[in-house]
Structure 1
Amino acid sequence: MMEEKKNIMDYDTVSLDDENSAVVIIDQTKLPGTTEIIALKTAQEIWDAIYLLQVRGAPAIGVAAAYGIYVLAKGIDTDNYDAFYAEFKKQKEYLDSSRPTAVNLSWALNRMEQVVLNNADKSVAEIKQLLKEESVEIQDEDIRVCKAIGEYGLTLVKPGDGILTHCNAGKLATSKYGTATAPIYLGQERGYNFRVFADETRPLLQGARLTAFELQSSGVDVTLICDNMSATVMKNGWVDAIFVGCDRVAANGDTANKIGTSVVAAVAKQYNVPMYIAAPTSTIDMNTPTGDQIKIEQRKPEEVTEMWYKERMAPEGVKVFNPAFDVTDHELIAGIVTEFGIARPPYTESFKEIFAKKEVAQKNK
């Protein structure tokens, strides 16, 4: 169904339509030209939406996966626990195969699976209700987490600062506020008047199509630049801090984010601009020792050679290397901003403090 509204910020990135057993998303492949809201009801539709980047951004993928597995669980027609769990597990593993790099996908699905495992003594109907409650909590938690990241991130900058960001770690990548953009949005609410530079983010242009779009729609002073212009704006002294999101953080602080992030980090080091990673603790994977162990998704060559162009802009048959992400070395990162504080080097130690705070918060719930 098609909807036209003036402001993209009026829409939910992901929502649950329980009455119609659907996950409702903005089709982000159509932005900024068309705002199309689509309802996902089948496993194939949910898988495709994640793989094709109709829903994207680590937190939003997690929320969509949680709602998706709930919708699919709702449709499992059996009262037998073992039969229900077998089908649930099958659907869960299928959704989990849609994108390999973003840890929030498996994190959310594993969390939903734990609900099933922890309630084997209850009826299937009760388990379905508990799955719904857990999926809603995952989204509510995402909003709280992003707000907290924004508050901590705001302590790293001052009014009037220039901020550079890469890809889209904004509202469109989460439920609200975004991760890397959370300090920007909170600062906007408080009159900080940041000047933001948004990298266009080749080859899928998330910075141009999504970040510039949503920041402009919110009244933020945003300037769009090509990826290869970041060094110029830093050398000119226009950038005081860099905030980017991430899809996975290794135990040593290496981070996987949209391709091009490591280039920004290397240039930032050259010009003494601090690079901050906005990372919910759900994206920190303590089971991955370093960035070398992070599986990097490889995508179709057409994204580089044909997508967005009226005519093909590369010679037929040319070889294309198209990794979706790169890994930024922890030595290039000034701090990792989480909902429980800012982790500083050495990250192997500061992550322990962050997770200790998280454990206390969960016990005090």
Structure 2
Amino acid sequence: MIESFSGIPAGANQSPHTLTIRFDAEVDRVVIIDQTRLPHECVEVELKTSADACHAISSMQVRGAPLIGVTAAFGVYLGLRGKDDETARSLIASVIEALAATRPTAINLRWALDKIETRLARCEKNVAEIALQAALELHAEDINACSMLGEYGAQRLQEIWEAKGERAAEAGLPAPENLNILTHCNAGALATVDWGTALAVIYKAQARAIPLHVWVDETRPRNQGASLTCWELGQRGVPHTLIVDNAGGHLMQHGLVDCCVVGSDRTTLLGDVCNKIGTYLKALAAADNGIPFYVALPVSSIDFSLREGLTEIPIEERAAEEVSHISGLDDEGRVSRVQLAPTGTAV
């Protein structure tokens, strides 16, 4: 059973390093931010069992490829916690199998579980403790990888910003006010343990005093751009504007986008990228308008066993209600779910 034990007002002035998942060693507790409650309420919940971790992943209480992987790693520990070594060893395969079945597209899930499974295959004693240590190592590695990824990307944004200023000066135009970046879905700290992938680039560029403005796609059908990216950018003081999914090409045509930065659920050996539905259309529009399009991802998001993304990457099919219905605040400040399409509409 997942237990909610604390709530934080969604508008609170939170630390820029609020972790999406953390382990409280003093009380042996794994805690996540329930992202299905954002942006209207920020609630932390405890994962007590591996079944809780499975539910958190499949229901998208946690989402984003890197975070899914780390959550699954802690899920292995939760499935073995409190068991003697013989029992724990007998449960490893079934616990990993259940976690692996939760979300098929994000390669980080399988990557993290494979690393844990390999680690546990070599141990005969302290099985649960070793599973925990492996999960904590993946947790720390994700933070470090995303931070480094952000620094690398921020350098590229610095170059784009300087080039934009030089072009304006050569044309005798006023200095530009900001660097306009378009992003899709949520590839921020909420999609990882901390920092994020695409948004890590933005946060690190912000730290370099590059004046940024972010166009945020709403990202139907679950609206992660509207609900998560806008919330996250607001928490960190990054100027941003929410746009409908189909507005990106229009903005590019009118010179209002300097570059696009997105994340990746899975990337093949040849560089084919699988990301939130709609990313492909943004890439086509960017190519047509000569706008740089960057994918920010850690190595854990690369599937070296695949070459062709179109034919080999499994695409998750979710419930039709995610398209036909939508949730939001009603006039009385309550979160409500309403139907958009006529009853019986095929989705």
- Please give the TM-score of this superposition, normalised by the length of structure 2: 0.87
What corresponds to 1:267 in structure 2?
Answer: 285
Give 1:155 deviation, angstroms: 2.4
Q: Secondary structure at the match of 1:39?
A: strand
Q: Secondary structure at the match of 1:223?
A: strand
Give 1:171 deviation, angstroms: 0.6
Q: Secondary structure at the match of 1:315?
A: coil
Partners of 1:249 and 1:299 in 2: CA distance? 21
**Equivalent position amino acid for 2:207 in 1:** E
Q: Note if contact 2:18-2:194 (Cα within 8 Å) is conserved in structure 1.
A: no
Give 1:110 deviation, angstroms: 1.0
Partners of 1:21 and 1:41 in 2: CA distance? 10
What RMSD over aligned residues (CA atoms) do the two structures have, in Å?
Answer: 1.5
2:338 equivalent to 1:311:
yes
What corresponds to 2:72 in structure 1?
Answer: 65
Q: Which runs of 5+ in 2 are unaligned?
A: 162-177, 329-336
Change in Cα spacing, 1:311 to 1:116, as seen in structure 2 (3 Å) is closer
Partners of 1:78 and 1:176 in 2: CA distance? 33
Alignment of 1:4-153 (within 5 A): 4-5=8-9, 6-8=12-14, 9=16, 11-75=18-82, 77-80=83-86, 83-120=87-124, 123=125, 125=126, 127-153=127-153
Give 1:243 deviation, angstroms: 0.6
Give 1:7 deviation, angstroms: 3.2
Partners of 2:7 and 2:78 in 1: CA distance? 24
Give 1:267 deviation, angstroms: 0.8
Q: Which runs of 5+ in 1 are unaligned?
A: 321-365
**Equivalent position amino acid for 1:318 in 2:** T
Q: Note if contact 2:30-2:47 (Cα within 8 Å) is conserved in structure 1.
A: yes
Give 1:259 deviation, angstroms: 0.7
2:258 equivalent to 1:254:
no
Identity %: 41
Give 1:144 deviation, angstroms: 0.9
Q: Note if contact 1:21-1:71 (Cα within 8 Å) is conserved in structure 2.
A: no
Q: Note if contact 1:193-1:220 (Cα within 8 Å) is conserved in structure 2.
A: no
Partners of 2:247 and 2:145 in 1: CA distance? 32
2:299 equivalent to 1:295:
no
Alignment of 1:183-262 (within 5 A): 183-262=201-280
Q: Note if contact 1:23-1:64 (Cα within 8 Å) is conserved in structure 2.
A: no
Q: Note if contact 1:22-1:71 (Cα within 8 Å) is conserved in structure 2.
A: no
Alignment of 1:160-175 (within 5 A): 160-175=178-193
What corresponds to 1:362 in structure 2?
Answer: none
- Please give the TM-score of this superposition, normalised by the length of structure 1: 0.82
Give 1:86 deviation, angstroms: 2.4
**Equivalent position amino acid for 2:247 in 1:** M
Partners of 1:253 and 1:79 in 2: CA distance? 41
Give 1:67 deviation, angstroms: 1.3
Q: Secondary structure at the match of 1:267?
A: helix
1:79-101 superposed Cα distances (whole Å, 9 cap, x missing partner): 32xx4322111111111110000
Give 1:18 deviation, angstroms: 4.0
**Equivalent position amino acid for 1:84 in 2:** A
1:280-338 superposed Cα distances (whole Å, 9 cap, x missing partner): 11111111111120000001010011132753111111110xxxxxxxxxxxxxxxxxx
Q: Secondary structure at the match of 1:258?
A: coil
**Equivalent position amino acid for 2:52 in 1:** E
Give 1:265 deviation, angstroms: 0.6
